């Protein structure tokens, strides 16, 4: 392969997963992520891996549970309605402390919605995604290169913390083509002494399960799990700052919205408005520290989203409502234009942070 | 270049067929009165010739396209008026076919008529920067799969090797060997090399049969 290849975001995820050592993919086609499955179908048989198109999303996520129990790297991918179907399995993975990589290339909703891009599964992804107390590590790429890099990172984090890592992309990120370098450092394999690989009569049985007969036992594992989540919150938050040094106004955006917003921020700077951008790369853990240091300096935060305003709640929490947080959005498969974001910045600058 | 009445653009998924098709149509319209673009893509609901609908209308080029292209649903439907393609009275056609063998299946129903009339070119659009066609051997595999799926033999190659917006003149020049190898191994002539219009001047004189591309609308 050449130094750089021209890839769709979906293809970059698939190829990066293979490079990360994933040899088991289970899925069910749904636009706009079908290229992940198509790529796996072409490649996995050639490298001794498994591609299996399951009879449904629910079957696929439970196959992920099975393979993960044996300690192998495994993934599934879908788009919004399909992720809802996987909800039960996501909760079971969490309850059994199993690592997995799950990709959501979001489309417009709710319901069947449409096939154009969206970010309206933010709540679903960052609040766990199904029943019970649990979290997923949520990674939000904003370029095809990052689609690849965060996929590898996702496998590593999932193994390290024994939990699901989710790539939360959108239809545009999945479909757009950009040059990608796949020259990664190979990820470090993590020992998995808990895996069900056969005792060989040399150790006690390993049991992978999310059922607890005694409520106090179930309470104990929940508390322990949240201790682990605390470590993740302290160590794994990732974000990018853009023109934030002297910023008085702060745009907050991830994924495709961040690309649009960067253009708008650059335009606003030309007009003399001191505006910057914080781009959360991990949506859970939310990069609270990035906001803590802005408090008192920023007059208004503008959350740019392809949803009715979901991340905006995390921005309010992270900034402790120290300044107004306003929403600039499009939904239903529409994308905010740089002009729309620029107008929101100009309005904020005119108001001067007045509530 | 001289066009047959029907020019079919086939190739690997994401090789750039649609952009080549759109530009061929405008080039052809300069020389022919009656030009149509037929979008027979049943694979990808995005990035369709429909993106250029307004430009086609302004130029007097007819667009035949599924009403579901670029909408909120993924319905791999073919337009009913595609049957006019095989009527010689309808003039010249540029046909944009979906990627890979899966896309080529859409041609099945009109192939007998195309063969009977025998006034067609079927061009394989290649891009060696795409991950699944990095060399001549893998490209030939895709060519064979497409021919098997639609039952129509290729008549030429279009080198559209590029790295998107970051493509340099050097990036294109270094693909000529690959394109010649595809030509030699397949026995189909390399018809032209397509480059983004901004690279055209730099490469003029360095590449035979250079064809400039005005890209369709860019998302971000």
Chain segment B74-110, per-residue pLDDT in tens: 888 999 999 999 999 999 999 999 999 999 999 999 9
Kindly list the structural domains of chain A, giving each domain's residue range(s) and its CATH number in brackets, ordered by start: 4-235 (3.40.50.970), 239-351 (3.40.50.920)
Task: Calculate the CA A64 to chain-centre distance.
Answer: 18
pLDDT confidence bin for A2, thresholds 50/70/90: low
Residue A141, pLDDT score: 98
- Which residues of B are less than 8 Å from A263 in CB distance? 220
Dihedral angle over CA of B130, B132, B137, B142, nearest 10: -100
Pick A114's closest partner by Cβ from B47, B72, B131.
B72
Q: Is the pLDDT confidence value at A354 over 50?
A: yes
| Per-residue pLDDT tens digits for A201-237 | 999 999 999 999 999 999 999 999 999 999 999 999 9
Residues of chain B above pLDDT 70, percent: 98
| First and final C-alpha spacing in chain B | 33
Q: What is the pLDDT of residues A221-231, one digit of tens each?
A: 999 999 999 99
pLDDT at position A3 is 82
CB contacts of A4 in chain B (<8 Å) are 129, 163, 166
User: How many C-beta neighbours within 10 Å does residue B26 have?
Assistant: 17
* Residue A212, phi then psi, degrees to nearest 5: -125, 125
Average the pLDDT over A154-160 and give the result. 97
The ipTM assigned to this model is 0.92
pLDDT at residue A7 tops 70: yes
Model pLDDT, residue B158:
98
Residues of B within 8 A of A31 (CB-CB) are: 45, 74
pLDDT classification of A1: cutoffs 50, 70, 90: very low
The DSSP line for B76-108 is ----GGGGGGG-GGG-EEEEEEPSHHHHHGGGG
Alpha helices in chain B (DSSP H): 17-29, 53-59, 100-104, 111-117, 136-150, 169-173, 176-186, 197-203
- State the pLDDT at residue B1: 63
- Determine the 3-state secondary structure of A121 from DSSP: coil
Sign of the C-alpha dihedral, residues B79, B85, B90, B96? positive
Read off the pLDDT of residues A67-104 as tens digits, 9 standing for 90 and up: 999 999 999 999 999 999 999 999 999 999 999 999 99
Query: Does the N-terminal peptide bond of residue A32 adopt cis geometry, omega within 30 degrees of 0?
Result: yes
Phi, psi (degrees; rounded to nearest 5) at B10: -125, 170
Residue B217: the pLDDT is 67
Residue spans per domain, chain B: 6-213
Query: Is B2 part of the contact surface with chain A (CB cutoff 8 Å)?
Result: no
* pLDDT(B218) > 80: no
Residue A355: pLDDT band with limits 50, 70, 90 = low
Compute the nearest-CA separation of B168 from chain A (Å). 12
pLDDT, one tens digit per residue, over B129-148 is 999 999 999 999 999 999 99
| B215, HSE (Cβ side, Cα atoms, 13 Å) | 14
Name the B residues in 116-175 with CB < 8 Å from any A CB: 127-132, 134, 162-166
The verdict on a CB contact (< 8 Å) between B165 and A178 is yes
In this predicted structure, the answer to whether residue A268 has a pLDDT above a threshold of 80 is: yes
A195 close to A69: Cβ distance less than 8 angstroms: yes
* Rg (alpha carbons) of chain A, rounded to whole number: 21
**Average pLDDT over all residues of chain A:** 96
CA-based nearest residue in chain B for residue A109: B72
Determine how β-strand A239-242 pairs with β-strand A275-280.
antiparallel
What is the pTM assigned to this prediction? 0.95
The per-residue pLDDT for A77 is 98
CB atoms within 10 A of CB B172: 25
Determine the Cα–Cα distance for residues B208 and A5; give it in Å rounded to an integer.
Answer: 24
Distance CA A202, CA A219 (A): 31
* pLDDT band at residue A45 under the 50/70/90 scheme: very high
**pLDDT tens profile B157-213:** 999 999 998 899 999 999 999 999 999 999 999 999 999 999 999 999 999 999 999
Compute, in degrees rounded to 10, the torsion defined by CA atoms A76, A77, A82, A85.
Answer: 20
Of A1, A38, A115, the CB nearest to B131: A1
Query: Sign of the C-alpha dihedral, residues B41, B152, B14, A11?
Result: positive
Which of A4, A6, A112 is most worth mutating to test chain B (most B CB atoms within 10 A of its CB)? A6
CATH hierarchy code of domain B6-213: 3.40.50.300
The percent of residues in chain A predicted with pLDDT above 90, rounded, is 95
Tokens representing A42?
A: 């072409």
Instruction: Quote the minimal CA–CA distance from B32 to chain A in Å.
Output: 33
């Amino acid at each position: 392969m050449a130094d750089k290849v021209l890839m769709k975001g979906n293809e970059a995820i698939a190829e990066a997963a293979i490079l990360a050592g994933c040899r088991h993919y289970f899925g069910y086609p749904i636009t706009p992520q079908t290229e992940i499955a198509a790529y796996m179908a072409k490649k996995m048989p050639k490298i001794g891996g498994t591609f299996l198109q399951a009879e449904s999303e629910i079957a696929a996520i439970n196959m992920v549970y099975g393979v993960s129990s044996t300690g192998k790297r495994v993934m599934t991918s879908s788009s919004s309605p399909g992720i809802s179907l996987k909800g039960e399995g996501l909760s079971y993975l969490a309850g059994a402390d199993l690592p997995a990589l799950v990709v959501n290339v979001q489309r417009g909703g709710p319901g069947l919605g449409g096939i154009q891009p969206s970010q309206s599964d933010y709540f679903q992804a960052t609040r766990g995604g199904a029943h019970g107390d649990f979290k997923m590590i949520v990674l939000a790429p904003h370029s095809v290169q990052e689609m690849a890099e965060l996929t590898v990172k996702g496998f590593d984090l999932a193994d390290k913390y024994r939990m699901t890592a989710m790539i939360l992309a959108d239809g545009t990120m999945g479909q757009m083509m950009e040059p990608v370098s796949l020259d990664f450092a190979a990820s470090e394999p993590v020992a998995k002494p808990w895996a069900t690989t056969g005792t060989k009569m040399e150790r006690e049985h390993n049991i992978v399960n999310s059922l607890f007969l005694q409520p106090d036992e179930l309470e104990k594992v929940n508390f322990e799990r949240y201790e682990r989540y605390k470590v993740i919150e302290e160590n794994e938050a990732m974000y990018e700052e853009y023109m934030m040094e002297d910023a008085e106004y702060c745009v907050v955006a991830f994924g495709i919205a961040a690309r649009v917003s960067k253009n708008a921020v650059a335009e606003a700077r030309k007009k003399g408005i001191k505006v910057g951008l914080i781009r959360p790369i991990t949506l859970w853990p939310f990069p609270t520290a990035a906001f803590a240091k802005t408090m008192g300096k920023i007059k208004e935060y503008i959350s740019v989203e392809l949803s009715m305003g979901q991340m905006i709640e995390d921005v309010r929490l992270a900034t402790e409502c120290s300044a107004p947080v306003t929403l600039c959005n499009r939904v239903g498969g529409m994308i905010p234009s740089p002009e729309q974001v620029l107008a929101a910045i100009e309005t904020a600058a005119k108001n001067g942070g007045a509530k | 270049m001289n066009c047959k009445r029907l020019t079919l653009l086939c190739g690997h998924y994401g090789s750039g067929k649609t952009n080549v098709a759109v530009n061929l149509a405008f080039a052809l319209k300069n020389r022919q009165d009656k030009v149509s673009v037929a979008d027979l893509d049943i694979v990808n609901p995005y990035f369709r010739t429909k993106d250029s609908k307004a430009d086609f209308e302004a130029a007097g080029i007819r667009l035949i396209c599924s009403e579901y292209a670029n909408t909120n649903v993924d319905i791999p439907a073919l337009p009913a008026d595609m049957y006019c393609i095989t009527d010689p009275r309808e003039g010249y056609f540029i046909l944009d076919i979906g990627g890979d063998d899966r896309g080529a299946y859409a041609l099945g129903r009109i192939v007998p008529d195309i063969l009977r009339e025998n006034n067609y070119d079927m061009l394989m659009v290649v891009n060696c920067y795409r991950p699944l066609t990095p060399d001549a051997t893998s490209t030939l595999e895709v060519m064979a799969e497409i021919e098997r799926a639609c039952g129509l033999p290729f008549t030429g190659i279009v080198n559209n090797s590029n790295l998107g917006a970051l493509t340099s003149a050097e990036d294109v020049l270094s693909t000529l060997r690959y394109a010649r190898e595809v030509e030699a191994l397949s026995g189909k002539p390399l018809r032209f090399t397509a480059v983004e219009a901004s690279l055209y001047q730099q490469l003029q004189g360095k590449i035979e049969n250079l064809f400039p591309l005005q890209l369709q609308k860019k998302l971000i």
